[in-house]
Amino acid sequence: MAKTAYPAHPEVPISKAVRAGDFVFTSAYGPWTFDPSKVVFDADGNITDDGTGEKNVPFDEQVHRTFGFVKAALAAAGCTLDDVVDCQCWLSDARDFVRFNEIYSTYFSKDPPVRSVFPARFMFDCMVEIKVTAYRPLSGS
């Protein structure tokens, strides 16, 4: 089985997506990217500034931005949201679950993937993260 990685930001040791055979796995995406050299920590090691300059971005916009990053990662590996078979989602506030479902259904209106939604406390100042697995056979398979 061949494995192909699609690099993310050069300062972060992760791939935006990895193709392993006919499956594509994305990293978990939030609504913005960051430069690790701009992250500020307090004396206890807690992040006090994620360096993005993003503050008070409404939930809906964060979800749409996040899906934009997921779609771009999938595209790098030759996939679309139609190829997604599994979706893992994290919300910082469970009270956003109903609204999240409303927005989510606009991206997966037909034959939605299996999905898990988890409450989370994020390292960075965001309200949502999404990670997907897609299935798209390689050409000739």
Angle between helix 97-107 and helix 59-76 axes, rounded to 10 deg? 40
How does residue 113 score in pLDDT terms, banded at 50, 70 and 90? very high
Task: Please check whether residue 140 lies inside any domain of the structure.
Answer: no
What is the spatial distance between Cα 38 and Cα 22, in angstroms, rounded to a whole number? 37
Query: Is a pLDDT exceeding 60 seen at residue 13?
Result: yes
This prediction has a pTM of 0.88
**Cβ atoms 129, 29 nearer than 8 A:** yes
Task: Please check whether residue 100 lies inside any domain of the structure.
Answer: yes
Q: What pLDDT does residue 65 have?
A: 95
CATH number for the domain spanning 55: value is 3.30.1330.40
Q: Which residue has the tokens 């893992």?
A: 88
Coil, strand or helix at 94:
helix
Q: What pLDDT does residue 92 have?
A: 96
Task: Please check whether residue 125 lies inside any domain of the structure.
Answer: yes
Task: Please check whether residue 108 lies inside any domain of the structure.
Answer: yes
DSSP element (H, E) containing 98: helix 97-107
Task: Please check whether residue 90 lies inside any domain of the structure.
Answer: yes
Task: Please check whether residue 141 lies inside any domain of the structure.
Answer: no
| Residue 82 identity (one-letter amino acid) | D
Of 32, 31, 25, the closest CA to residue 4 belongs to 25
pLDDT digits (tens, 9 = 90+) for 47-76: 888 777 777 899 999 999 999 999 999 999
Task: Please check whether residue 42 lies inside any domain of the structure.
Answer: yes
CA distances in angstroms from 135 to 3, 60, 87, 113, listed in the order given: 14, 27, 12, 11
Structural domain tally of the chain?
A: 1
| Residue 139 identity (one-letter amino acid) | S
Q: What is the Cβ-side half-sphere exposure of residue 93, based on CA atoms within 13 angstroms? A: 10
Q: What is the mean pLDDT of residues 102-115?
A: 96
Task: Please check whether residue 28 lies inside any domain of the structure.
Answer: yes
Q: Residue 28 is part of which domain span?
A: 3-135
